[in-house]
Each structure stands twice: as structure tokens, then as C-alpha cells.
Structure 1
Amino acid sequence: MGLQQADLHTHTTASDGMQPPAENVRLAHEAGLCAIAITDHDTVAGVPEALDAGFRLGVTVVPGVEISTFAGGQDIHVLGYYVNIDNTQFLERLESLRDTRAERNKALLARLSELGMPITFEEIQEVNKDTKKAGDPIGRPHIAQTLIHKGYASTMQEVFDRFLGKDGAAYVTVPRIDPHTAVVWIHEAGGVAVLAHPGIYGNDELVNELITEGFDGIEVFHSDHTPDQEANYQELAVRYGLIETAGSDFHGIREGHLLHGTIGNRRVDVQVLHALLERRGRYENS
């Protein structure tokens, strides 16, 4: 029997992923994983379907979420594991975050129009109709795919480098909650809070500040981390007593471009799940 391993960061069509939740679970099973987390942006809508698929395939599904926050002049993402997906207060809070994302999208489309690249929400819906129903949350990858479809760019990488990434010409920010607030929300929903992909932020001083704000873990292993970064974050985890997690940040393939990594390309021993559940005991009855 091989190692029991888990990928703790994947996205589905419930947010900006390309595959439905059940497909993520199937891919995890094919990759030889015994567990997978569903961590869509600001929603837990994909978790029930994944749980059903996990039951059928014998794959443990960790109910999760990735909350969008803002600190140090940029977006910071906070992963929540084992949150109570039926917690009414938590669901209302996530809905408020999706409203904020919708406002961001309006501002982003206005900026694109100023740059001579007008697109409409109707066009975004049409281009992404295979993965998005009317009224579903829209993310930057959906906007990027529409820009490519209209000929304003050739690849996803180009879109994010030139327009939608944090250094892009159309990048916009709107008021968001801070990471500490997200940590509190996750704890109040009985979950465990982990700082997502710290290497992406390009600011380890900020990372060092953030992880002292109640985080339970840090995503040491991520598709976009270098070996040196992973060694650095492992050292931080040991220093601060944080749980070390790993995730592919799988979104699927869009316009021929694999976003982040394939399911299972970053994985941790299933013992990490036990550590998360043990830590969760501090919050679930609070």
C-alpha cells in the first residue's frame, strides 16, 4: 500500500475552476490521492457534490474555502479547512465577499473599456457558458478568456501579465476585509485558517507579519513555489508552530493554459488532515 496523501487546494466550477466538483474528486482518485480539499473562492457551493463523489470513490473530501482579503497593497488569500458549510452566519459573510468581487469586476471592466478593450458581462457569460450558469460568480480567469476570445490577447499568461495581474494595466482593487478578519470568520465557522501560497505575494516581510495573526497553518508547498521558497516557509512553519499544507491550486486548463498545477502535483501526508482536525477542536464548539 502506498503513501496516503492529500492535495489541499483545488478549485471547481463553483468559482473559477474548469471542472465540476465531482470531476476534481475523480482526478484525485486517478492520481492516487486518498484526500482532496475543495477550496473555491468565497463559496462552499461545490462541497456537497464533492462529498457525494468522495463517498462513491473512497476519497476523503475536506470541506474548504479560499477567502479573498487585502493587505500590504495586494490581494491575500486565506484558506479555511473543515468549516461548517451549513453555518448561516458564515454563508452570509461569504455572500458579502462575492458582492465585493462583483463590484471589483464592474470596476475592472470599466478600466478595460478605458484601455480600448470593452467587454460586457453578457459576453463573459457566453464565452464561459460551458462552466458558468447565469448568475454564477465571475472571476478574472473568465474575464481573461473573454479578452482572448475577442482578440485582445493570445494567451492567459499574456492577459494576466499585461492587464489583469497585480502589475497589469487594468488591475483594480476594491475595499476588502483584512486577513485577520478572515481568520476570525473561519474560526467562528469551526474551521482552521491557513495562509495560501505565500510565495506569490513577493513580500516575505508581509508574510512574516501575517502569520502571527492567528493563522493555524501555512501553505508551504504550492505549484508556483520554488524549492528555496518551500524551504523558507517550512522553516517559518516550524518557528511559529504552524501546520504545513500543500496544494496544487488546480483550476483546470483554460485556453490551452494550465492554471497553477495538476491535481496531486503538490501533496502532503494524510497525517496533516489529522493535525488540522486536532486544531479544529479549538474552534468548532466556540
Structure 2
Amino acid sequence: MAVTGSGFADLHTHTTASDGLHAPEENVRMAAQAGLSAIAITDHDTVAGLEAALAEGERLGIQVVPGVEISTVAGGQDIHVLGYYMDYKDDRFRKRLEELRSVRERRNEMMIARFNELGLPITLGEVAEIKARRGGKPEENIGRPHFADWLIEHGHAESLKDAFDRYLGKGGQAYVNPPRIHPSTAIEWIHEAGGSAVLAHPGLYGDEALVDELIQAGLDGIEAMHSDHSPEEEALYRRKAEDAHLLITAGSDFHGERLGETFHGPIGHRRIGIEVLEPLQERGRGSRS
């Protein structure tokens, strides 16, 4: 895919292929409405939404960056690694993502058990039904925002933020962390599929030693601009990326609007010039050589 023109890109969005509320085509249309020239589709551990998004991008003249957000664990917490421009049709890469989704399914079962221990009679079937009402397909991932929807609907949380603060986020009553690959392994997988690896929202981890470790492990970039980063965190990760000669990226981490709340931010809320796309492609090509 040639990178042409000028303008801005949002390099972190989710669709109904994982835990977003909008179909891939809708994300592309919203990118056009937001005045963006490019958008990345970065669903959790799946590339199922890419073909539809790419087709809609071709129709609208919006550059669609094929991406993924890989779930990993380090230091006892979830760490996410974004992949861009990998060969998403590669059989080995897709098989690896399938294995990660099986871990996600185990995570969901563990969360159900934890909720039941807390006296909340939630079932996985009820969460799947909520996902279906939001436009998700049976084969698509169930994520924590779907659990948040259940909590809100049944009066156990007042808002999405409340659901994550009390139950679903790090330190929450129902937070669980099954064994997963280390983020350095995700970097290797992305490189082996010919893509570029970028650390997602490092400000959410509170672990600068890990960020430095992953820079040494071969990161191609850092998502310095994210909907949940403060100006101080944005400046910190810009400096880290610049000092290590890494790419700086930006993403809204858009999942959709739930009960008037946009999680984490609307499409285009964080954006960066599309001149970053060519080096993102080139670094991926370099990983194949």
C-alpha cells in the first residue's frame, strides 16, 4: 500500500471484531467525517475486521492501516503491543492470534467465576447476548467493555469508568490475569509477520523499567499520544521515543460510545501526521530482510 497525500491518522481503533461497538466500515466512515486521511484498525488479538475496513477505505479514499493489538502480560499486568502492516494473511501469524484468543476466553471464564464469588449472578451467555445486541458476531471476541455493559444494565455500576474502577480494571474486584505471552514475544511475532511493533499507551502501566526493556527488545515505536495520557506523559514518551530513535504514534483507542461515554476517546481524538505511515511500513519490511 503506497502512502500518499497529507493529513492525519488515528492509529488505534477497535471494532465489533473485538470489543468495539461499530463495524469496521463504520470506523472508516467516522474517520472520514473526522477529517482524517488514515485510520488503523487494531482489534484485540484478531484481524477479522481488516478486509471490510480496507474495502471501505478504498471506496472512500481513506488509507486503512492493517493493524492488531496483541494481549500480553509482564510484571503482573496486561501490556498491549500494537502491530502495523504485518502480513495479516500469514497462516502462522493468524494461528498465533487464535491461540491468544483462547487465552482471552479463559480470562472471561475466570472473570465470571470471580463475579459469582462476589455474589453477582452473571453468565457468559448473558454477556454474549449483550455483545450481539451491540452488533458483535458470535465468532468475535468478548471483551471487558461487554462485561461493563452487563454491570451497568444490572445496576452494579453507574458508568463505564465506574465498572472498570470497581471491577474490571487493574486492582478491581473481578480483575484476573491468566498466563499470557511476554510483550517481547509479541514484538517477535509482529516482526516475523513483516510488521512494525509499537507499545500501546505506556502511561497506563506505570512501569518505566518495562518500557526501557521493551525498547531494547526491538520496539519500532511508542504510542506517546493516547486518549488517557496526560500532557506530561505524552512529553515523557515522546522523549523516550526520540532518544531511542523510535517512531512516535498517536491513537484514540476508540471503542464506541456506551451510555453517553466514549471509551477511551472518539476517532481522531488523538492523531498524528500521516508521514509516520511510510516509516511504519519500512520498518516492517526491514524486519523481513
Shift of 1:94: 0.1
TM-score (norm 2): 0.96
Q: Is the 8 A contact 1:145 1:255 kept in 2?
A: no
Q: Unpaired segments of 5 or more residues in structure 1?
A: none
Gaps of 5+ in 2: none
Q: Which amino acid is the alignment partner of residue 152 of structure 2? A: I
The 10-residue stretch of structure 1 (102-111 or 122-131) with the greater mean CA deviation from structure 2: 122-131
Secondary structure of the 1:37 match is strand
Q: Where does residue 64 of structure 1 map in the other structure?
A: 67
Distance in 2 (alpha carbons) for counterparts of 1:256 and 1:269:
29
Give per-residue Cα distances to partners, 1:84-122, cap 9 Å, x unaligned.
Answer: 111000000000000000000000100000001121111
Take 1:153 and 1:232, find their aligned partners in 2: how far apart are those partners?
A: 33
Deviation larger for 217-226 or 148-157: 148-157
Q: Deviations over 1:211-270 (max 9, x none)?
A: 221100000111111111111111101111100000000111013221011111111111
Match of 1:133 among 100, 124, 137: 137
In the aligned structure 2, how far is the partner of 1:273 from the partner of 1:240? 19
Residues 151-160 or 78-87, more deviating: 151-160
How much does 1:277 deviate?
1.3
Counterpart in the other structure of 2:37: 34
Structure 2 match to 1:274: 278
1:214 correspondence with 2:194: no
Could you tell me which residue of structure 1 aligns to residue 158 of structure 2?
154
1:55 — aligned with what?
58
* Percent of residue pairs bearing the same amino acid type: 58
The residue that corresponds to 1:119 in the other structure is 122
Is the contact made by 2:21 and 2:136 (CA closer than 8 Å) also made in structure 1? no
Moved more, 139-148 or 104-113: 139-148
Distance 1:128 1:149 in 2: 13
* Amino acid paired to 1:66: E
Over the aligned positions, Cα root-mean-square deviation in angstroms equals 1.2
1:110 matched to 2:137: no
Aligned to 2:80: 77
Structure 2 counterpart of 1:12: 15
Q: Match for 2:26: what amino acid?
A: E
- Residue matched to 2:263: 259
Aligned counterpart for 1:23 among listed residues 26, 38, 41: 26
Q: Report how many aligned residue pairs link the two structures.
A: 284
Q: For residues 142 and 163 of structure 1, what CA distance do their matches in structure 2 show?
A: 13
1:3, distance to aligned residue in structure 2 (A)? 5.2
Code of the residue aligned with 2:95 in structure 1: it is E
SS at match of 1:50: helix
How far apart, CA to CA, are the structure 1 residues paired with 2:131 and 2:45? Answer: 19
Deviations 1:6-29 (A, max 9, x none): 110000000000100001000111
Distance 2:130 2:183 in 1: 33
3-state SS, counterpart of residue 211 of structure 1: helix
